[in-house]
């Protein structure tokens, strides 16, 4: 087991947080970023210890432009209605507060059909492609680095859209 894997599985970095990290997290990205910017990650995990169900939709500043959170409410979508996306300036930590959804994931190096990068929104969409899909719920959070293309907001059952309340942290890469 590598030092990154041992560190991840010991989970001392969660500082008592009961929510688990999804196994898809890229440890070659997470380990060095956490150790280079521990204050950012500690602020995120401290925020996750709050009663998140009482948060209203909107933005929540945490550490200036380095870390902020957004709460949104929406209904899950059919897979073909959800877009693949990636970011360059920020890492996403996504946590479903209420409801559940599927999240798609694939490496940026495998992504095809990129659209124009929107620097103001730090967002680039990609065309339809194959990726892995995971169930997101209150038990775990996902972390997406700029090397990860993700596809959030997908309904669990193909014909049954459900409401979701989600918290997305934006954590500066640099």
pLDDT in tens, 65-86: 999 999 999 999 999 999 999 9
Residues pairing with 106 in the sheet: 149
Using the predicted structure, report yes or no on whether residue 91 has a pLDDT greater than 80.
yes
How many whole angstroms separate alpha carbon 17 and alpha carbon 126?
Answer: 34
Measuring CA to CA, how many Å separate 130 from each of 70, 81, 107, 111? Answer: 28, 14, 11, 9
Helices of type H across the chain: 3-10, 27-36, 38-48
Asked if 107 and 149 touch (Cβ cutoff 8 Å), the reply is: yes
Q: Give the domain range for residue 155.
A: 3-172
Whole-number pLDDT of residue 167: 98
- How many separate domains does the chain show? 1
Whole-number pLDDT of residue 62: 98
Strand 67-75 relative to strand 90-98: parallel, antiparallel, unpaired? unpaired
| Structural Rg of the chain based on CA atoms | 16
Please give the helix or strand (H or E) that residue 148 lies within, else none: strand 148-154
How many whole angstroms separate alpha carbon 114 and alpha carbon 153?
Answer: 20
**Tens of pLDDT along 8-67?**
999 999 999 999 999 999 999 999 999 999 999 999 999 999 999 999 999 999 999 999
Phi and psi, residue 85, nearest 5° = -145, 160
User: Tokens representing 114?
Assistant: 């990129």
Asked if 145 and 91 touch (Cβ cutoff 8 Å), the reply is: yes
How many whole angstroms separate alpha carbon 116 and alpha carbon 28?
Answer: 27
Grouping H, G, I as helix, E, B as strand and the rest as coil, residue 91 is strand
Average pLDDT over residues 165-171: 98
Average pLDDT of the chain is 96
The CATH number assigned to the domain holding 126 equals 2.60.120.370
How would residue 158 be classed by pLDDT, with cut points 50, 70 and 90? confident
């Amino acid at each position: 087991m590598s030092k990154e894997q041992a560190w991840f599985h010991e989970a001392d970095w969660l500082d008592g947080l009961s929510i688990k990290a999804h196994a898809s997290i890229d440890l070659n990205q997470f380990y060095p970023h956490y150790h280079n910017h521990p204050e950012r990650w500690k602020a995120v995990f401290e925020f996750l210890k709050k009663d998140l169900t009482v948060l209203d939709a909107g933005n929540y500043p945490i550490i200036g432009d380095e870390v902020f959170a957004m709460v949104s409410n929406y209904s899950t979508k059919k897979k073909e209605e959800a877009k693949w996306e990636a970011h360059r300036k920020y890492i996403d930590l996504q946590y479903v507060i209420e409801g559940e959804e599927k999240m798609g994931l694939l490496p940026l190096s495998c992504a095809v059909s990129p659209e124009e990068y929107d620097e103001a929104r730090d967002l680039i969409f990609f065309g339809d492609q194959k990726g892995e899909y995971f169930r997101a719920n209150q038990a775990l959070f996902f972390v997406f680095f700029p090397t990860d293309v993700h596809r959030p907001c997908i309904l669990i059952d193909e014909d049954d859209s459900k409401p979701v309340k989600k918290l997305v942290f934006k954590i500066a890469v640099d």
